[in-house]
Amino acid sequence: MQQQELAPVPPRTHQFNKAKEHQEKAEQCYRMAERAISEFEKQSWLELGNDWMKLCKERSELAERTPSC
């Protein structure tokens, strides 16, 4: 079986992909907060979701500054 070489992902695309991953993780945290049993659990999930959204925003801003190849 012949191995296929993967084409390298351009840096800008990589940054956008990471931003999307972070956004998906944040959305998952927000869904978990909706199902939380205690207020403490809910707040913890919301804080974690907010942290993921901050990372998403940072990655998106970095992607905007990264030149496309």
- Total count of domains within the chain: 1
Q: Would you write out the chain's pLDDT as a tens digit for each of its 69 residues?
A: 566 666 577 888 888 889 999 999 999 999 999 999 999 999 999 999 999 999 999 999 988 887 776
44 part of a folded domain:
yes
Encode burial over 33-62: b for 16+ CB neighbours within 10 A, e otherwise.
beeeeeeeeeeebbebbeebbebbeebbeb
**16 touches 60 (CB < 8 A):** yes
User: Is the residue at 2 inside a domain?
Assistant: no
Residue 49 lies inside a defined structural domain of this protein: yes
What pTM was computed for the model?
A: 0.80
Name the residue range of residue 52's domain.
21-64
The answer to whether position 8 is within a domain reads no
Tell whether 6 is covered by a domain: no
Q: Residue 18 carries which side chain, given as an amino acid letter?
A: K
- What pLDDT is stored for residue 46 in this prediction? 98
